[in-house]
């Protein structure tokens, strides 16, 4: 059969796991399961469920269940071969793969915070057919990711049984630094497809930044690399931000990128950095800079209006309920100015577009002002923010603690430790958090030093986690291929633990390497495969 011809090496696989792992299945070797070699290659979607769209995710362009089913049909055809078809049905057919709503109490599907989720699903295999039911359209779609992985692991066959699963956290994301290295639209789209295969839900797109001036380049700041990745179209004055128009995304490009990701359950979270890391702005308007030239002088009357003009241009582009305004590593002696900026920008973005804002956790020792509770804080380093304090003070927060989350591609500076950030995602820090053997990280675990100072798994403010791939050394450091390799194993491992949380299925570490090798081999983006083939010529 065609399946065996495509995957001759899979016969060697004995015991592997999907990523994220699924809860133990109520399975039986008795009775007829499902095989792509002997059963129908038809996909059916319940007519009553086909038009369902999720309301509680972050995307403003939620696909219908039918649109997700179309994506699944294309994916399974590409992954396994064969002539897979999709049609609506009013009742279960005797064979094939059936997509629909969860056939139980959807109230059982909650994040660890207690909030309801549309991302839960069931998979039932019986009598030569598969049923995938979601508590929402995304839940159904995530079930198709599990199914494809199980088919790869099972040589195209599944035993009879039923699995019920749901994520512990809504935010399961990855960040790519596109402010110091240009990435093509096609690469971004394929990276999104890759992450979606492992049930990632967010792509944090860091669109503007510069080579760090704190490495002795402040005197030559006008010659230092900076980049702004989005090309202004309506307000042409903003084109002063752009140094390399050929390395930008147009509105059409960015919409295509967002639509592609949304069709795979992933929301693009765009970030435009200010008032720090703002060299693209200060090169354009030098009068707005502080003595450290990549910091905006927030006391200048034109600084905040300039940042607001930038956001006014791009807010209509962004198909998401939350955006990131950066607000990272500003001068702590100007804490009041910084806090006023964050709060004013949060109000501006919300009043203009009804979106909430995220910021990086930043040390701001003001005795007079506080950051608005409407602002979501992305924690990245102790000394900049304290997750327990943020939770106790009523903030929503995201875990990007650099000890486990960060990699900096071909990086050679040492921001926090007597060693640079790793070049590749450090899997061991996820499977053995705080260097404690087999203590598997989850998004409630922030502190790798004082291991008793963690959030409760039920913490109401904890949205989840995002890993981060930085290009601190600028555009000459890495290729797109190398950026993919840096995250290739980190994405499935981190996604597995962010999905499972403390309550879900653990990674079986002695199967992890082989599981990644199998799943990555068959879901590697085509642009990556092409580049890899060129490199081996």
Enzyme catalytic residues: 329
Task: Give strand pairing partners of 190.
Answer: none
- Quick one: tokens of 277? 């890391």
Q: Which residue has the tokens 């909650």?
A: 110
Query: Cα dist. 151→32, 36, 248, 257, 526 in Å?
Result: 15, 8, 39, 28, 21
> In the structure encoding, which two tokens stand for residue 210, read together?
């510069």
| Cα separations in angstroms, 324 against 204, 327, 375, 503 | 8, 9, 10, 29
Distance CA 48, CA 52 (A): 8
Alpha helices, H only, 103-164: 137-153
User: Are 441 and 497 in contact, with CB atoms under 8 Å apart?
Assistant: yes
Residue 77 and residue 320: Cα distance in Å, rounded? 30
457 contacts 503 by C-beta, under 8 angstroms: yes
Q: Give the list of residues 6+ apart from residue 191 with CB closer than 8 angstroms, or none.
A: 176, 203, 484, 487, 525
Torsion, CA 270, CA 273, CA 274, CA 279, rounded to 10: -140
CA distance 438 to 440: 6
Q: Cα separations (Å) of 244 from 53, 211, 224, 225?
A: 39, 16, 14, 11
Identify the three-state secondary structure at position 117: coil
Task: Write out the H or E segment, with its range, that includes residue 186.
Answer: helix 185-197
């Amino acid at each position: 059969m065609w399946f065996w011809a495509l995957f001759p090496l899979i016969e060697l696989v004995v015991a592997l796991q999907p990523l994220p792992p699924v809860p133990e299945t109520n399975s039986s070797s008795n009775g007829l399961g499902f095989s792509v070699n002997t059963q129908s290659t038809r996909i059916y979607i319940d007519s009553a469920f086909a038009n369902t769209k999720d309301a509680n995710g972050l995307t403003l362009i939620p696909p219908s269940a039918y649109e997700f089913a179309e994506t699944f049909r294309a994916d399974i055809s590409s992954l396994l071969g064969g002539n897979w078809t999709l049609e609506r049905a009013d009742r279960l057919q005797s064979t094939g793969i059936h997509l629909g709503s969860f056939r139980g109490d959807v109230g059982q599907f909650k994040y660890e915070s207690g909030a309801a989720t549309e991302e839960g699903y069931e998979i039932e295999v019986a009598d030569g057919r598969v049923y995938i039911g979601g508590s929402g359209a995304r839940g159904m779609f995530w079930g198709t990711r599990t199914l494809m992985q199980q088919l790869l692991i099972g040589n195209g066959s599944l035993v009879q049984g039923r699995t019920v699963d749901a994520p512990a956290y809504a935010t399961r994301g990855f960040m790519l630094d596109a402010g110091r290295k240009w990435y093509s639209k096609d690469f971004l789209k394929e990276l999104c497809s890759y992450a979606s295969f492992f049930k990632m839900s967010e792509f944090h797109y860091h669109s503007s930044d510069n080579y760090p001036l704190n490495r002795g380049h402040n005197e030559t700041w006008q010659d230092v690399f900076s980049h702004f990745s989005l090309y202004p179209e309506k307000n042409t004055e903003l084109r002063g931000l752009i140094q390399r128009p050929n390395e930008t995304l147009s509105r059409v490009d960015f919409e295509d990128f967002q639509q592609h990701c949304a069709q795979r359950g992933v929301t693009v979270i765009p970030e435009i950095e200010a008032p720090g890391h703002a060299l693209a702005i200060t090169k354009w308007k030098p009068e707005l800079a502080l003595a450290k030239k990549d910091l905006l002088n927030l006391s200048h009357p034109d600084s905040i209006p300039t940042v607001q003009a930038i956001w006014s241009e791009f807010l209509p582009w962004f198909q998401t309920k939350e955006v990131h305004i950066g607000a990272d590593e500003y001068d702590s002696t100007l804490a009041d100015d910084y806090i006023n900026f964050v709060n004013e920008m949060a109000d501006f973005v919300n009043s203009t577009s009804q979106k909430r804002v995220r910021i990086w956790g930043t040390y701001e020792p003001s005795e007079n002002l506080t950051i608005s509770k409407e602002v979501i804080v992305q924690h990245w380093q102790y000394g900049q923010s304290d997750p327990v304090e943020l939770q106790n003070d009523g903030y929503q927060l995201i875990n990007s603690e650099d000890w486990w989350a960060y990699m900096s591609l071909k990086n050679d500076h040492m921001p926090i430790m007597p060693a640079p950030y790793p070049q590749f995602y450090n899997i061991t820090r996820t499977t053995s958090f705080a260097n404690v053997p087999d203590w598997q990280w989850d998004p409630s675990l922030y502190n790798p030093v004082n291991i008793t100072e963690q959030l409760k798994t039920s913490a109401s403010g904890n949205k989840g986690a995002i890993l981060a791939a930085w290009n601190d050394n600028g555009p000459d450091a890495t290729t797109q291929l190398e950026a993919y390799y840096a995250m290739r194993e980190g994405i499935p491992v981190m996604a597995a633990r962010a999905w499972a949380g403390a309550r879900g299925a653990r990674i079986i570490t002695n199967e992890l390497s082989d599981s990644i090798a199998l799943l990555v081999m068959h879901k590697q983006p085509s642009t990556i495969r092409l580049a890899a083939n060129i490199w081996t010529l």
